[in-house]
Amino acid sequence: MTAELRNLPHIASMAFNEPLMLEPAYARVFFCALAGQLGISRLTDAVSGDSLTAGEAPAALALSGDDDGPRQARSYQVMNGIAVLPVSGTLVSRTRALQPYSGMTGYNGIIARLQQAASDPMVDGILLDMDTPGGMVAGAFDCADIIARVRDIKPVWALANDMNCSAGQLLASAASRRLVTQTARTGSIGVMM
């Protein structure tokens, strides 16, 4: 059994019966993929009443983990005095890694990297490179509070790079400045129960 499959009960406990801030289309794909991995054949959308089957999730988006092996243990990159902190995938309260891992970024990792970059004399500013549909409510507001505190020490920019929705928008709202690429998707602010 792979490490990703052993973590499924942990992932399920964070996804079910928790308030989530997710872009609705991503939520459907995520829950269909997770249901398929957990052996659940049908899900019902509580808002619309639509039934979803595990087979509706595109195969490319199924929970397969990080096939490239472990990522390089690096807190952030510095380019021209700017610390670049990737914030990608589903946002969760905690992960064991500082960097995004297996399609998730932990608020705890974002906070740790922000604090390191804020105290790094080689860093003049911090760029949150955002590509996220959102995620858990738990931890999101605490992370946004830390971003707001750090922006008083060094400028913090949030770049919506492809997608920055829901909980990602909450984090970006705490930054000194928000930037959007020409084709990025932003918005979807709200909470799903």
Domains of the chain: 3-61 (no CATH), 77-182 (3.90.226.10)
> CA 105 to CA 88: how far, in whole Å?
6
Task: Give the number of other CB atoms < 10 A from CB of residue 127.
Answer: 23
How many Cα atoms are found within 13 Å in the side-chain-facing hemisphere of 127? 15
Say if pTM beats, i.e. exceeds, 0.75: no
In the numeric block, which tokens belong to residue 34? 């997770």
Q: Which one has a higher pLDDT value, 188 or 113? A: 113
Q: Which one has a higher pLDDT value, 35 or 168? A: 168
User: Which candidate, 149, 150, 168, places its Cα nearest to that of 159?
Assistant: 168
pLDDT confidence bin for 187, thresholds 50/70/90: confident
Mean pLDDT for the chain?
79
User: Which candidate, 77, 79, 87, places its Cα nearest to that of 111?
Assistant: 87
Q: Which one has a higher pLDDT value, 82 or 24? A: 82
- pLDDT in the model for residue 27: 73
Between 12-16, 34-38, 55-59, 108-112, the lowest mean confidence (pLDDT) is in 55-59
User: Which candidate, 172, 166, 124, places its Cα nearest to that of 148?
Assistant: 172
φ and ψ at 114, to 5 degrees? Answer: -60, -45
The number of angstroms, rounded, from the C-alpha of 85 to the middle of its chain's C-alpha atoms is 12
% pLDDT > 90, the chain? 48
Region 154-166: what's the mean pLDDT? 95
What confidence tens digit (pLDDT) does each residue in 1-40 have? Answer: 455 555 667 777 777 777 888 777 667 767 776 776 777 7
pLDDT confidence bin for 47, thresholds 50/70/90: low
In the numeric block, which tokens belong to residue 21? 């801030």
- pLDDT in the model for residue 139: 95
Active-site positions read 166
